Amino acid sequence: MKCLGCYKKIEKNEYCLSCRKKLFDGKRVPTVLDFDKPKAENMTIYNEHSKRMSISGVQLKYSLRLNGNKLELSETNGQYIIKPIPTADHLEMMEDAPENEHLNMQIASQIFNIKTAHNALIYFKDGTPAYITKRFDVKGDGTKYVQEDFAQITNRTKETHGESYKYDSSYLEIGELIKKYVPASIVAIENFFKIILFNYIFSNGDAHLKNFSLIRNDFGEMELSPSYDLMSTIIHTPGENDTALELFDKDFDLAYYATYGHYGRMEFVEFAKRLGIVEVRYLRIIEEFFEKKGKVFPMIEGAILSNAAKQFLLKNLQFRLKRLQ
């Protein structure tokens, strides 16, 4: 039996002590909720007790709060976000979506030391899985940290930039804004570069402006927020673009992209240079993904994914790594 938070082997069907501390302040919160997933017959209850928010027009998320050791739907004072299996006929393997996100978040955190929002897999009363994450913008006293995503920072909205406003930018533009607003920008830029590389290698083709944020810390300084919404979107949309945004303007003019029609090491090296990362550092970050692939494969194999999703993810991961060699 494995912990539904970190995959650690445990004896009981519960979250391990470490995950309970991170997610639930040490409380023994059940791995099964006492209510069913959202569906036609209970949607009124969901609408009355929770504020629904759309994710790219497909996936819905609901707000939860902890009452004692039980999680309940909450329209206000939410401490957690839960994402059920999306309902979208045009997407593939949607039953795997909750574990897809959970797995990618755990790989990022455990193997590549990327700071992520605390998260886990949880089940509804009827046995269907959901992804749950603790809000990092909520303080212990219930007040919130100041947080802005990069659509807000760049003043891009549907009204000003059209329906595709979240995709009307480049990762280099985000990097330049990190330099502008984050005092400890050298470290933040390196972390940002690693996240972009992670998204490419693990095939997250929907990492748009709203998937990156700055948050004001307890010292009053802005910093790059923990990562969220990391998942291998290619599992569900096989024909998608490799990235949601360009690395930088006219990146397709570089020799490798012009020849093969996709990013390779050349484009990411140029991207790192434009971000101002020194050579020894960006090469170390790139090589880390090759050095640690032996830890990634077993984690994927042991994930609570369908065999089809596992094989697709493993094959695509090897293909993306090959591009970067």
Condensed to tens digits (0 to 9), the pLDDT of residues 187-245 reads 999 999 999 999 999 999 999 999 999 999 999 999 999 999 999 999 999 989 999 99
Q: What is the DSSP letter of 110?
A: I
Share of the chain above pLDDT 70, in %: 94
Q: Is 52's pLDDT higher than 90?
A: no
Question: Which of 259, 256, 261 has its CA nearest to residue 269?
Answer: 256
Dist. CA 150–CA 117, nearest whole Å:
18
CATH 1.10.1070.20 domain residues, the chain: 147-323
Model's pTM, two decimal places? 0.94
- CATH of 147-323 given 2.40.50.100, 1.10.1070.20, 2.30.38.10, 1.10.357.10: 1.10.1070.20
Contacts of 161 (CB under 8 A, 6+ apart): 168
CA distances from 154 to 157, 207, 251, 292 (A): 9, 16, 21, 35
Residue 8 has pLDDT above 90, yes or no: yes
193 touches 185 (CB < 8 A): no
User: Mean pLDDT over residues 175-194, rounded?
Assistant: 98
Q: 112: helix, coil or strand?
A: coil
Q: Given pLDDT bands bounded at 50, 70 and 90, which one contains residue 43?
A: low
